[in-house]
Amino acid sequence: MAPLLLDPQLIAEIKHIENVTGQPNLLAGFVRKLEESLAEFRPAFSDCIARRDTSGAARAAHTLRGACSQLGARELGDLFEAIEISARAGDYAEAQRRFDGAAELIAQSLEALKRA
């Protein structure tokens, strides 16, 4: 069975908030911000790794994990959880490998969020 990229219940809740508040582009704005954060992650994470800043690297991954989870991007949240765990353990190579190997997942998740 294919993984579920998005949590339909969370997407429905965000859509409901859009309707109730009269802000029809709320989800789209969150998705744009997530896209920006994803683009900023690699250089920020790499900087933390270069400085051997375990806490900063884990915090960068944790921040994205939370953003993805709040938007219902399950698989992306799981990815950044794994990156956070690797970073906390000081296994920067594994954390970087996970991120580098996730380009397709990131693209698919962003596309699914944009279509939601």
pLDDT of residue 70: 95
Q: Where are the alpha helices (DSSP H) in the chain?
A: 8-21, 26-50, 54-70, 74-88, 92-100, 103-115
* pTM: predicted TM-score of the whole model, two decimal places: 0.91
Q: Measure the CA–CA gap between 79 and 83, rounded to whole angstroms.
A: 6
Bridge partner list, 78: none
Q: Measure the CA–CA gap between 44 and 56, rounded to whole angstroms.
A: 9
Structural domains of the chain ordered from first start: 8-115 (1.20.120)
pLDDT in tens, 17-73: 999 999 999 999 999 999 999 999 999 999 999 999 999 999 999 999 999 999 999
